Chain A
Amino acid sequence: MKTIVLQALSGVGLLMTILPAILVFTGHLENGLFALTALGTLLWFVTAPLWLKEQ
């Protein structure tokens, strides 16, 4: 269960790395690109080592 939650959070982290850029490209996001991708990065590097270690 813990692993699934961690993997989900990592997935959200990756999604937040790429999705804001796509939204900028499509014209749906004007501000916040830097902050959102940074948040996604943080989420990935905090959670991914925990479940990748178990695997």
Chain B
Amino acid sequence: MNLNQKWLDKIDQVDEFEREPVPVTKQKGLRSFLGMYAGEHTAGTEFVIGPLFVVHGVTAFDLVFGLLIGNLLAVMSWAFLCAPIAVKKRITLYYQMEKIGGKHLTVVYNIVNALMFCFLAGSMIAVAATAVGIPFGLQMPSLSDIYPTSIGWVVAVLAIGAVTSVVAMLGYNTVARFANIAAPWMILVFVASAIAVLPDLGVHSLSDFWAVAKSKIWTGVVMEGQSKFTIWHVIFFAWFCNMAMHIGMADMSIFRYAKKWKYGFSSAAGMYVGHYIAWLASGILYALFLQESQGSNEFAPGPIAYRAVGITGALCVIIAGWTTANPTIYRSGLAIQAILPKSKTWKVTFIVGMVTSVAACFPGLVMKLLDFVALYGLILMPMGAVIFIDVWLFPKMGLTSDYALKNKKNFNMAAALAWILTLMACWFINELWGVEIFFLGLPGWFIAALLYIIISHAYQKKIIT
């Protein structure tokens, strides 16, 4: 048997239980989830989000306390909304959606979902490219760039995309293993980078830090052409930046492997290390860059990390981007695989990886990351509300759970209307009252839940067809 055949046989054997509950023998312990979350959320996005808070003029107090509160709300969302359903059902989000919404609605949902994941993973590959491009003198993108800036940029992005896709093709175990190995080192590099540059910002002892944080790092001054962020922006962004995964239930696909629902609290490893320490650290690095470049418009995490701790920093940006892009491409592959159940997961993941790589060529994805992250969470969130109501409330209300499956329907009108009308309502709230996208998830969840109950009542009693 030649090497190619062995390779194909190995990836053909990757079984991710796409259409069956995860068996007891395949369930994983708490450490797997701690490693997965710490690795996934101490990632490429952190090198972008931390600096973007500086760009949007967040003050030191607003950031430190806003992140404490917002991250706590995110952990509670994973622990009390997502993990209990994942452990109860032990199936992927996509198969659960099919049971509730029917095959046709799931196809629409999965295409939207997969596209969103592709764009997110794409932004991380772009971040990694800023580090890969250092030795080649690659022209780095700036805050106002939307389109590819050079051929070199495109080549760097496509090369990283190809490697990331191959790793994702090998499935959850490979992704979890890589994240586990890289996570502790990555976290320390974030911290080391920030500590190493503090003297250059004027911090020579711990007692200097707060004064410098307020006057030189998170000054509250907005950069030209950007909007002002308050503590409310910080709280809601920290809570909802992974809304698709906790409230939106995408991490059902991850927590279906958990022995207990309480493993949902393992998300705290990602939130308080990645979305707290790493955001603060990357903000510090960017503040130094602004100081030394006299307010340059260039926005490239690779050179910024390299300035702090050399080759280790650049490597960290690459690996951080990789550990985010990997599970995201994997999730996207699962979404498409649910549409084409007879196709091999690895083949689908490869195609998704290619789409992601093309999207990654556009630096606009990175520069508008905060808005994009908020939008993608908002678009997918209503289906999380639908699943929550369907699993917990419908049996108590005398309504039929898994309606499409039990009634052999390919399209559950109630779920579809709840999704579309919720997004329309959010759009109206945004347009009429000027509520920013970062805040729409909260009213949106209740609107989706209420709409699904009301419409399902009418739909299941055949009042509407």
Contact = CB atoms under 8 A, between A and B. Distances in A.
A24 B184 contact: no
Interface residues of B, number: 21
A48 B196 CA distance: 25
A5 interface: no
Q: Which secondary structure dominates where chain B touches chain A?
A: helix
Contacts of A24: 195-196, 199
Q: Please indicate which of the listed interface residues A18, A25, A38 has the most CB atoms of chain B within 10 Å of its own CB.
A: A25
A45 B195 contact: no
B311 A38 contact: yes
Contact of A37 (B180, B184, B199, B312): B312
A1 interface: no
A17 B310 contact: no
Interface in B188-212: 188-189, 191-193, 195-196, 198-199, 203-204
Interface string A10-22: 0001100110111
A25 B198 contact: yes
B188 A18 contact: yes
Given A17-B188, A21-B192, A34 B311 contact: yes
B21 to A, nearest CB: 26
Interface in B139-198: 177, 180-181, 184-185, 188-189, 191-193, 195-196, 198
Contacts of B204: 27
Interface in B291-341: 309-312, 315
Given A21-B193, A22-B195, A33 B310 contact: yes
A25 B309 CA distance: 13
A38 B181 contact: no
A48 B319 CA distance: 16
Q: Which secondary structure dominates where chain A touches chain B?
A: helix
B195 A48 contact: no
Contact of B189 (A17, A33, A48, A49): A17
Contacts of A33: 196, 309-310
Q: Please indicate which of the listed interface residues B185, B203, B310 has the most CB atoms of chain A within 10 Å of its own CB.
A: B185
A52 interface: yes
A37 to B, nearest CB: 4
A52 B188 contact: no
Contacts of B188: 14, 17-18
A48 B181 contact: yes
B273 to A, nearest CB: 14
B181 A41 contact: no
Contacts of B193: 21
A44 B182 CA distance: 9
Which size class do A's interface residues fall under?
Answer: 20 to 34
Given A14-B188, A21-B196, A45 B312 contact: no
Contacts of A45: 181, 185
B72 to A, nearest CB: 26
Interface string A21-52: 11011010000011101101100110011001
Nearest to B191: A18
A34 B312 contact: yes
B312 A38 contact: yes
Given A18-B188, A34-B312, A49 B195 contact: no
B358 to A, nearest CB: 30
Given A21-B195, A21-B196, A27-B204, A14 B184 contact: yes
A49 to B, nearest CB: 6
A33 B310 CA distance: 8
Contacts of A20: 192, 196
A25 B195 contact: yes
Contact of B185 (A17, A22, A35): A17
Contacts of A25: 195-196, 198-199, 203
Contact of B192 (A13, A17, A44, A52): A17
A24 B196 CA distance: 6
Nearest to A49: B181
Nearest to A35: B310
A7 to B, nearest CB: 12
Contacts of A13: 185
A49 B185 CA distance: 12
7 contacts: A14-B185, A17-B189, A20-B196, A21-B191, A24-B195, A38-B312, A48-B185
Given A33-B196, A34-B310, 16 more contacts: A14-B188, A17-B189, A17-B192, A20-B192, A21-B192, A21-B195, A24-B195, A24-B196, A25-B203, A27-B204, A33-B310, A37-B189, A40-B312, A41-B189, A41-B312, A48-B185
Interface of B: 177, 180-181, 184-185, 188-189, 191-193, 195-196, 198-199, 203-204, 309-312, 315
Q: 9 smallest A-B Cβ distances: which pairs?
A: A34-B310, A21-B192, A21-B196, A37-B312, A21-B195, A17-B188, A18-B188, A18-B192, A41-B312
